[in-house]
Structure 1
Amino acid sequence: MTNMNSVALAAAFALMTISPASAKDAIPQTQTVRNVVLVHGAFADGSGWRAVYDRLTQRGYRVTIVQNPLTSLADDVAATKRALDQQDGPTLLVGHSWGGTVITEAGDDPKVAGLVYVSALAPDAGETTAQQYEGFAPASAFVLDTRTDGFAYVARDKFKSGFAHDINDAEAGFMADSQVPINLSAFGTKLTHAAWRTRPSWAVIATEDKAFDQAMLLHMAHRINAKITKVSASHALFLSQAQVVANTIDTAAQTLSKEQ
């Protein structure tokens, strides 16, 4: 076999391994917002973003996943800032749940072009996370197991019903057993920045979320003037509706690229 034939066969094989969807959805080389930083919430870790990560990287995005220690707002913001320091250009910052508070505080970084809130909290400067719950119905299905040191888990026997009722038992069980507890004192920390005041925002809201009152999620999303996408999902929508979340991130990045 000649070298030319070998090269031709290798090229043909490479084309066969690229799915039509990935070739069709690949972002253009001219797109300026190509970096995405994903920030998880309480009771979870960065591995929960895997399905979203796979969809975004397949399209050509550079995706970085933050591992929040969940020990304080300052510690989680510092972890996110370290991830932002690694970026080589305009970046979309994405947060789930408590991660919304983190991106609100950390999102004043000059590299951040926009924010995506995934069933996430969005306090204002001078407010605490806890204040966002005031005036809204409590999440009765979302039961916490608070330990004597002030850290809390979602109660193991309530995890699936309260956090992830739309994923299978095995996956929900793994998530429940691999929880990262959060220091509840973080919810009482006042923010010093509200990045949504200076950055365009998007919000994906799970309509079957048992962790937050729907009215609360909508109130926050409207207050920050976010472009809202609703999807039938649990609080774990980053898993059960990863395609919708990835599509929203993609839309936000494309929109911001056209505006720059």
Structure 2
Amino acid sequence: MPAFPAFFRRLHIVAVAALGLASLPAVASADPVKNVILVHGAWGDGSNWSKVIPILAAKGLNVTAVQLPLTSLADDAAAVKRAIALADGPVVLAGHSYGGSVITEAGNDPKVSALVYVAAFAPDAGQSAGSLNATVAPSPLAAEAKPDAEGFISLSKTGVYDDFAQDVTPAEKQLLYVAQSPTNVKSVGGNVTSAAWHDKPCWYIVAAHDRAIQPALEAEMAKTIKAKTTTVEGSHMIMLSKASAVAAVIEQAAH
């Protein structure tokens, strides 16, 4: 925001006081945000951001990649809120896939200055990642997601290799498959209680070749939340296959 000349700053203060509006929320600072918290999605962990982290760190940003328990939306949001509490100033939250639901819930914290959705779900209050996904035809990955008796969902090898991360290296595919974190239905099926995107500036990255979330649904969610939107030619795991493009959008949100 351009700085007001001194006269206009004084005039603004007098007008606010006269109208009894001094209790209005302060305008967000134009200074760059130094803290970024990265939130992985279902079947993932913090290492999913391994290529984005050094790019952001080289730009002088303080980066934290949380480890979600993936046991429920409430548990996952609590993990992000703990990370926010430890930050020494304003924070940009970036969420991938189901992590979009998590930042939508946790992003109501007053320290959060912006939200970045990376091929991610952006539910409104009363919606979940699962309910949003059910509004469109099943993605190719849907047939490769297998729940166990305790409600934890895992991906088949075919699902990881062909639909989740089809454009990463063979070694990366193997690691994603072997080290995947089974995800409880209470996470992907957990309803958001209050959607932070109503009150926070948002960025959205659509993955043009996503086979986990329909790209058309991603574009529709980006439009709904009035996000600054970038389309990247990549798979669902664009933070691995197109790390520079993802990092660039997160940096924009911080500045």
Q: TM-score under structure 1 normalisation?
A: 0.84
- SS of residue in 2 equivalent to 1:180: coil
Q: CA deviation at 1:109?
A: 0.4
Q: Following TM superposition, by how much is the alpha carbon of 1:100 offset from its aligned partner in structure 2, in angstroms?
A: 0.1
Question: How many pairs were matched up?
Answer: 225
Secondary structure of the corresponding residue to residue 116 of structure 1: strand
Number of the residue aligned with 1:89:
89
Q: Give the secondary structure class of the aligned counterpart of 2:140.
A: coil
- CA RMSD, 1 decimal: 1.2
What are the residue-to-residue correspondences of 1:92-107 with 2, within 5 Å? 92-107=92-107
**Runs of 5+ consecutive residues of structure 2 not aligned to the other structure:** 1-29
Q: Which runs of 4+ in 1 moved over 4 A?
A: none
Aligned residue identity for 2:111: K
Partner residue, 2:116: 116
Given that residues 166 and 235 in structure 2 are in contact (C-alpha distance below 8 angstroms), is that contact kept between their aligned partners in structure 1? yes
Q: Is the 8 A contact 1:44 1:179 kept in 2?
A: yes
**Residues in 1 aligned to 2:199 and 2:206: alpha-carbon distance in whole angstroms:** 21
Offset at residue 189 of structure 1 (A): 2.1
Cα distance in 2 between the residues matched to 1:47 and 1:187: 20
Asked if 1:50 is matched to 2:50, the reply is: yes
Shift of 1:159: 1.1
Amino acid at match of 1:40: H
Shift of 1:140: 2.1
Indicate the residue corresponding to 1:69 in structure 2.
Answer: 69
| Structure 2 partner of 1:159 | 160
SS where residue 138 of structure 2 aligns? coil
In structure 2, C-alpha distance between the alignment counterparts of 1:188 and 1:172, rounded to whole Å: 26
1:218 aligns with 2:192: no
Alignment of 1:142-153 (within 5 A): 142=142, 143-153=144-154
How many angstroms apart in 1 are the aligned matches of 2:48 and 2:134? 28
2:219 & 2:146 partners in 1: Cα distance? 27
Percent identity at matched positions? Answer: 45
Q: Tell me, what secondary structure is at the counterpart of 1:159? A: helix
Shift of 1:240: 0.6
Amino acid paired to 1:180: S
Q: TM-score scaled by structure 2?
A: 0.86
Instruction: Give the conservation status (yes or no) of the 8 Å contact 1:141–1:211.
Output: yes
For residues 158 and 31 of structure 1, the distance between their equivalents in structure 2, rounded to whole angstroms, comes to 42
How much does 1:192 deviate?
Answer: 0.9
Distance (whole Å) between structure 1 residues aligned to residue 136 and residue 253 of structure 2? 29
Aligned-partner residue type, residue 90 of structure 2: P
Summarize the alignment of residues 3-14 of structure 1 with structure 2, pairs less than 5 Å apart: none
Counterpart Cα distance in 2 of 1:158 and 1:131: 21
SS at match of 1:160: helix
